Structures are given as structure tokens and as C-alpha cells.
Amino acid sequence: MSYSSEYRNKHITAEAAAALVQPGDWVHYSHFAMSPQVFDEALARRAEELDDVKVVGVSFPGIPKVVGADPRQAHFTYNDWHFSAPCRRLHEKDLCYYIPLLYHEAPALYERCVQTDLFVARVGPMDANGWFNYGPSNSCQSAIARAARTVVAEVSPNIPNCLGGNNEGIHISQVDYIIDGTHSPLIQVPNPSPSPEDEQAAARVLELIEDGAVIQLGIGAMPSVVGEFIARSDLKDLGGHTEMLVDAYVDMMESGVMNNRRKAFDRGRTAYTFAMGTDKVYRFLDGNPGCASYQVDYVNSPKTAMAHDKLTAINNAVEIDLYGQVCSESAGTRQITGTGGQVDFIYSAFHSSGGKAILCLSARREGANGPKPRIVPTITPGGIVTLPRTMVQYVVTEYGTADLKGKATWQRAEALIGLAHPDDREELIRAAGRMHIWRPSNKR
């Protein structure tokens, strides 16, 4: 069956697609590297004609044109499910707002809670069977398309064909309109440069990983350098099951360390829900049956993830306090990133047979006025507790490793102070005393 006539009938200009938006609408953009470009520009040109239009994206690369066209928010309000560096800058100028989310719940939110008038999905070219591929951003986009009143496909020719999995594409029968996208390359997100402290902590994390482990890496320099260390290690038969697939996964798979042979399911394939990195990862994913793109309620579902033996989740944090509470998404009231899948995987890893939930962070971070401790008496006022203390298992810094599960408050305080920078420990001890979680005898 040929779908060429249906394609022609649904094909319109970007201006005509933007004209579908009405005052008061909620317009949802596709996610991460696949954020729409041409539609965003066309909608921005309509700013003076519209009122109270809410636009929702996920880690839009750069500054959305609808924001640049309306810096007073007289016409558009931009919202983001996760945040990226540009969103952080916009947030500080009151031009972007965060939507709290447990990532594995995203499809259910679209089914039950979220108004979706228009969904604009950047996709690859239609295949002979009428399917458009979501490329490296499966996420929850099929759920958004089902919830939306109107669906627009923005077709770009240079999108990698990412195999499933499930829900890795959308059929032309589910699309209302089609517009032409750009030939511009996907966003390039190189691995952040690790510090010597990051590398020291990563080496300690490597000691916790066992042969046959199934690896999830979070976002940031620390998890990425852990992946690079794994790729150069003598570990055997690792598997991949991760929310975000980054360049380090290419290194792990190409080195042979990660072959997915011992996984309980998805054997032979690394499962993921979105990918961001450089062309290295996009080229690797194109038509590669060794990777499987799934909707997020499969990959991040605790029921799915914990069914793997030795699930090892490796994630970063902004700071952790002496109770073991973890802030991974803000610095005080400054929104840095979202909850994402950290809660999903930390919970799942501990409940996996032989699994390990690992938080790795340097003992200090660079602040505006010099180094700032990451291990603190209490979370910075206004900071978001991403992980309650009850969920935290392993904490790793360049100074050591601590397992907080089953530990009393004084044991946690002692262990975490031992992971802090030496110059911060005396003040932490005094603070722990004031908080009644430090034994004067300091005996173990």
C-alpha cells in the first residue's frame, strides 16, 4: 500500500500549522534533541495575534523562538519537564517554568492530567509502511500524540532511524498534518570534562560494579566518566538498561564490555528511552538492532527495571545532607534540572536482586565565591529533596564509599562526614552535634 497520496493531502506549510493554535491552547513540543525547529519559528511569528498560549517542551536545545519573540510573556508561557542550561538561564529571568515529574509516570500524566491541544513532533522521513521514526527521543511521545486534539509531524531528513522497542514511531494515520523540517544537525552534547575529583570518585564506583551487572547512567560529568572507565575495564558481560543513552554507552558496547548477553530480557540489546550526545551516538543508533528504543513507562518503570539482576544505577547529585537527603535538581531555589528518572532507578536498583543504587559526587563544587561543600548539614534552604533519606543506598566521593541503608542517624552522619572534604569536616561535626546526630564518644 502506498501512503504518498495521504502524505500529500496532509502536507501543509509551517505557517498553516502555526495558524492551528488558538488563544488559551496548550502546545506540546517533542523532546530533547528532537525538539521542533520550523514550527517553533512559525509560531513565534504569530506572537502578536495570540494570548495565553502555553508551550511545553523538554530540554529544548537553545532558546525557543516563542520565548525570544515574547520576553514579556504577554502571549506565550514556556514550560519544561526537565530543564537544560538554556532553560536555567530563562528561569532566572522568569521566562521558563519547571513541571515536576517522576519520569516513568509521564504517559499516565498525559492520559489523566495534562491538557494537550496540539502536539508537534520532529520526526524522520516516512518509511514505505507509513511510519515516522521519533529518532533518539522516544520518551512519552506516543502518549502525547494519543492525548492531543491535533498532531503535527515536522519531518527532517537527517534523523537516525532508532529501532524498537516499542512506541518508537508514529503512523501517518495518527498524524493530522505534516510540515517540512530543517536539514540542521541534531544538538551536540559532548561529555562534560571531568575534574580530577570526578575521576577519583569514578574509580571508587568502578569497584562496586560486578560482572553481569546491568548499567544505568544518569546525566552529568560524573556518570559519563564512570562509563568511560567501565569501557576500559576488565568487567565482563555487562548489560544496558537506561533512561538516557550517551556517548559512553557507545564506548562500553564497542569495547565488548557491555554485550547484554546475561540480561534477563532484552537480551543482546541496550534499552533506552532517549539519547543525547554527539554524532557518535546518533550514528551508532541509526538502524542498530543492538539498541532498543522504548517508551519511558517501560524503561523507567520500577516493575521493569528491577526485574534485571544486578541493576546498577549510577547517578549524580548537587548536594547531600547529614541525614542522607539528596538534592539533585536545584541549588537553593535555582532550578538546575529535573527529577527525571533518578527516583525511578534508585528505587529499582535497590530492589533488583544483587542491585546497587549509587550516588556519586565530588566533595566540593565550584561556587560563585569559591568551592562549596556538597556534603552539608542540611539541604540549602529552598533546595528540592529529590531523594528522601529512606531511599539512599551508596554514596561515593573521591574520599570513600558509604552504604547508608539500615543506618541510624548518627551512623549516617559519621559516614557522610568521612566522605566530605577534610577542610569541611570539623564544621560538619559541630553541626551534627547541634542536630543531635553525633555521638560525643565518636565510637564506631
Question: Per the structure block, which three cell numbers stand in for 351?
Answer: 530492589
CB-CB contact of 299 with 216 (8 Å): no
- The answer to whether the CB of 352 falls within 8 A of the CB of 311 is yes
Contact 345, 313 (CB under 8 A): yes
Let me know if 340 is exposed, middle or buried by CB neighbors in 10 A (0-12, 13-18, 19+): buried
Whether omega before 165 lies within 30 degrees of 0, making that bond cis, reads yes
CA–CA distance, 303 with 297 (Å, rounded to integer): 10
In whole angstroms, give the CA distance from residue 84 to residue 33: 12
Residue in the block written with cell 543506598: 393
Indicate the pairing of strand 274-275 with strand 244-245: parallel
Closest CA to 331 of 315, 323, 343, 319: 319
**Nearest to 187, CA basis, from 156, 216, 217, 215:** 156
Specify the residue for cell string 529533596.
Answer: 385
Q: What secondary structure letter does DSSP report for 265?
A: S
Size of the chain, expressed as the number of residues it contains: 444
Backbone angles phi, psi at 79, to 5 degrees: -130, 150
276 grid coordinates: 543525547
DSSP secondary structure letter of residue 125? P
Q: How far apart are CA 4 and CA 126, in angstroms?
A: 9
Query: Could you list the active site residues?
Result: 243
- φ and ψ of 355, to 5 deg: -80, 165
Helix (H) or strand (E) holding 297: helix 296-299
- The answer to whether 399 and 421 have CB atoms below 8 angstroms apart is yes
Backbone φ, ψ for residue 340 (5° rounding): 55, -135
Residues 136 and 282: beta-carbon distance below 8 Å: yes
